[in-house]
Amino acid sequence: MNTMKTFMLMAALTALFMVAGRAMGGQQGMIIALLLAVGLNFFAYWNSDKMALAMNHAREVSPAEAHDLHALVGGLAARAGLPKPKVYVIDEPTPNAFATGRNPEHAAVAVTTGLLQVLDRHELEGVVAHELAHIRNRDILIGSIAAVMAGAISYLATMAQWAMLFGGSRNDEEGGSNPLVMLVTMLVAPLAATLIQMAISRGREYMADATGAEICGHPKSLASALNKLANYNAQRPMDVNPASAQMYIVNPLSGGTVANLFSTHPPMEERIRRLLSM
- Report the catalytic residues: 131
By residue count, the chain amounts to 278
Question: Helices H, strands E: what count in the chain?
Answer: 9, 4
247-250 LR contacts (CB < 8 Å, sep 24+): 247/52, 247/98, 247/99, 247/100, 247/140, 247/143, 248/96, 248/97, 248/98, 249/96, 249/97, 249/98, 249/127, 249/130, 249/131, 250/96, 250/226
Q: Are strands 107-112 and 58-60 parallel, antiparallel or unpaired?
A: unpaired
Q: Quick check: 199 and 155 in contact, CB under 8 A?
A: no
Is the distance from CB of 199 to CB of 9 less than 8 angstroms?
yes
Q: Write the single-letter amino acid at 198.
A: M
CA distance 246 to 5: 18
Bridge partners, residue 89, by sequence = 59, 111
| H or E element in which residue 109 lies | strand 107-112
Report the Cα 169 to chain-centroid distance in Å: 35
